[in-house]
Amino acid sequence: MYTCTGHRAAVYALAHGMTDRHVLSAGGDGWIVSWNLDDPETGRVVASVETQVFSLISFPDKSRIVVGTMHGGLHWIDLEHPEKTRNIQHHAKGVYDLKVHGPWLFSAGGDGVLTRWLLEEARSVESFHLSNKALRSIAVAPGRRELAVGAGDGNIFFLDLETLALKQTLAQAHTPSVFALCYTPDEQRLLSGGRDAMLRAWNLEQSNPPVLHSEQPAHWFTINHIVLAPDGQRFATASRDKTIKIWDTATLKLQRVFDPIRDGGHINSVNRLLWLPGMLVSCSDDRTVKLTVDC
């Protein structure tokens, strides 16, 4: 495990960099930092904003990024042409998650609003008020033509991916809030994690509403993020309890735990994960980015 240092505040977001060997991180200092995975000694600040960054995502071409801030702004940043950067104040509160699908960007706001944007034009197309609490996570299932959104009221909302029509609501999926969502590769189950530290799997096949497939107390505190391995056979969970856990996707059995003392892991809440071929990248309230090889 290698530790990347340089951020001056908690790190909340990770994204693919401009090449397959670069990763971007962002957080409370407003910096967007590029790390070279082959030479991670020094990060390079490639952009900055004047407030805390809660979410970050790369365009498919990797030369442009979108940054979501604590005040609800979306910064559209061209890494090769910084002068083209646009700041759009949109959500009334923080932007907690961003997802790209095809020509669209979806943003989840602390104001309970989900917005669809035209990616190339940085233009909002439509917004839907889903909850009176913050929207915390988005997951996309292209095969199901479906979007799942987790909220601070404990609900998971399932929307049509093309029309954004609300298909169904899974009430009180977690107590009190849903922080993490991830579809399995076959899209037959949805994995969810929340402030209750529970890991749940929902059966989506021939069930309306989804049926609880399994549940287990996966962490001591909030599950902040769930991410699949590149091959889909495993997934990882990140938690406020400072640990990262690796699970078998098919059986949902725990395979490995990375903790602060034994493995030199994070010493504060683990906020976000990015799983690349041969490497799991994590970021934390401890102001570091860690690279775990061959996990």
Q: What is the pLDDT of residue 207?
A: 66
The owner of tokens 């091959």 is 231
Predicted confidence (pLDDT) per residue in 200-237, tens digit = 999 998 767 899 999 999 999 999 999 999 999 999 99
CA 108, CA 95: separation in Å to the nearest integer? 6
Report mean pLDDT in 10-residue bins for the chain, 295 residues: 96 95 97 95 93 96 95 95 91 98 98 97 97 98 97 98 96 96 98 98 86 96 98 98 98 96 95 97 98 86
Contact 146, 126 (CB under 8 A): no
Q: What is the pLDDT of residue 82?
A: 80
What sections of the chain are H helices per DSSP?
260-263
CA 43, CA 61: separation in Å to the nearest integer? 21
Q: Evaluate if pTM is beyond 0.85.
A: yes
Q: Which residues contact 232 (CB under 8 A, 6 or more apart)?
A: 184, 185, 249
SS3 sequence of 66-129 = EEEECCCEEEEEECCCHHHCEEEECCCCCEEEEEEECCEEEEEECCCEEEEEEHHHCEEEEEEE
Could you tell me the CA-to-CA distances from 246 to 83, 232, 236, 271, 286 in Å, in that order?
41, 12, 5, 15, 21
The owner of tokens 């700041």 is 87
Per the rule left: phi > 0, alpha: psi between -120 and 50, beta: everything else, 3 is beta
Question: 3-state DSSP call for residue 245?
Answer: strand
Nearest partner of 195 among 249, 253, 108, 134, judged by Cα: 134
Q: What is the pLDDT of residue 45?
A: 96
The owner of tokens 């759009």 is 88
CA 224 to chain centre: 8
Q: What is the DSSP letter of 264?
A: -
The tokens describing 253, both together, are 């059995």
The tokens describing 103, both together, are 């020509």
